[in-house]
Amino acid sequence: MRAVIGAAGVLVLALGCSGSKEETRSSANSAPMTAAEARQLVAGLEAEQARLDASDPLMDPKSLEDVVTILKRDNLHLFSRGVAFADKDKSPQAQQLVAQIELARGDAHLIMAHIFDDAAARLGHSIRTIRTRGVFFLPSPQEREQLEQMEKTAALCHRMSSALATLAYDHLTSGAKRAQALVDANPSDYHGYRVAADYFRLRHDWAKFGEMVSGIEKTNPQSNGLMFQRGAAALQRDNKPEEAAQLLRQALEKDPEFTRAQVFVLMSRSDPVETYHEYEKLKAISPAHQVVVWAGPAIVAAYNARIHELNSGAAGSPVPGSGLNDPLQRNQRVPQ
């Protein structure tokens, strides 16, 4: 359980960079959150991303090709730089990129909100299980401290989810307006279909989404973006996580650095252990990605809490990724 404490401490530190310790403690339990508070909280985490990527040439994009790479990289702190550069260019290609990035920013914020909510729910499940066991076996002072840290992590996860959802709608609104303008101006162009597919998928307008996917199939059937859209729809529309993961992994086989596809694979996992392993793959592709920098501690905390729960009473502490107490890495039943 020490890893849970460590993960909680990292998350608290990350959140604390945007305010005082007292503000961080109080914010974990206060509601509702204003837009200004949400921006302040998220800005601190984006600054940490930027620090890790300080030497990346994409921090100062020089061409639309750089902006395309920014979109593919899917790092939130680079999105604003890509928009600032591309928006100076009024060509259809540049404006298409601006619309896609704004939609991607909103989508990324909502994805992060979901991840924080999910981590909080998983931690809550483990907390309830451990507390139930405590009815029969009085917890030690160390165990009580560990539970407090888990509860603090869960509260901070809820706070981050609220901030991210607040900001997501600003970017989605901007991206939607730009996307609609592009669709109206380029109704039969591949790029118009591509932007529109994102637009209608995020609106959950699946009839229109299907029309746009058909347009992509006609204009660019080999598009890796088409494979991504199919995988995303299998997850978000059809609730078929295994089919989604298969399609998204095909996109990754074609382009191993397709960061956003790996994020969606991670999102398709419902088990904390499986989620952790997909997180490790994402970290290898993009160590400064927001899922890694922002939600990594929460994902690791949920993973270790689950392993602790499964191996309750087993000797030793689980080591993430070691396979020692990882039920995915061995055949025997996990001791209860």
How far is Cα 115 from Cα 110, in angstroms, rounded to an integer?
9
How far is Cα 265 from Cα 279, in angstroms, rounded to an integer?
9
- The pair of structure tokens assigned to 309 is 């729960």
Q: Which among 78, 28, 74, 30 has a CA at the least distance from the CA of 53? A: 78
CB 126 within 8 A of CB 150: yes
Q: What is the pLDDT of residue 48?
A: 80
Q: What is the pLDDT of residue 83?
A: 95
Q: What is the pLDDT of residue 139?
A: 67
Residue 320 lies in a domain: no
How far is Cα 263 from Cα 73, in angstroms, rounded to an integer?
11
Residue 236 lies in a domain: no
CB 266 within 8 A of CB 282: yes
How far is Cα 246 from Cα 268, in angstroms, rounded to an integer?
10
Q: What is the pLDDT of residue 17?
A: 38
Q: What is the pLDDT along the chain (336 residues), one digit of tens a residue?
A: 233 333 433 444 344 433 434 344 444 445 567 888 888 888 877 888 888 888 889 999 999 999 999 998 899 889 999 999 999 998 888 988 999 999 999 999 998 888 788 778 878 887 887 777 666 566 677 777 878 888 888 888 888 888 898 889 888 888 888 888 877 887 777 878 888 899 899 889 999 999 999 999 998 999 998 999 999 999 999 999 999 999 999 999 999 989 999 999 999 998 889 999 999 999 999 998 999 988 888 788 888 888 888 876 544 444 444 443 444 443 333 333
Residue 226 lies in a domain: no
Angle, CA of 286, 289 and 290, to the nearest 5°: 165
Q: What is the pLDDT of residue 135?
A: 60
Residue 258 lies in a domain: no
Residue 211 lies in a domain: no
For residue 209, what are the CA distances in angstroms to 146, 159, 256, 284, 309? 46, 32, 26, 32, 42
Residue 219 lies in a domain: no
Q: How many domains does the chain have?
A: 1
Q: Which among 131, 164, 151 has a CA at the least distance from the CA of 33? A: 164
User: Hey, what amino acid is at 329?
Assistant: Q
Residue 282 lies in a domain: yes
Q: Which among 281, 267, 271 has a CA at the least distance from the CA of 307? A: 271
* Domain extent for 8: 2-23+42-185+269-313
SS3 156: helix
Radius of gyration of the chain from its Cα atoms, rounded to whole angstroms: 21
SS3 244: helix
Q: What is the pLDDT of residue 158?
A: 86
Sequence-distant (≥ 6) Cβ neighbours of residue 67 within 8 angstroms: 61, 82, 85, 86, 94, 97, 101
Q: What is the pLDDT of residue 92?
A: 84
SS3 160: helix
Please report the sign of the dihedral spanned by the C-alpha atoms of residue 293, residue 295, residue 298, residue 304. Answer: negative
Q: Which among 75, 2, 54 has a CA at the least distance from the CA of 293? A: 75
Half-sphere exposure of 50 (CA within 13 A, CB side): 13
Residue 286 lies in a domain: yes
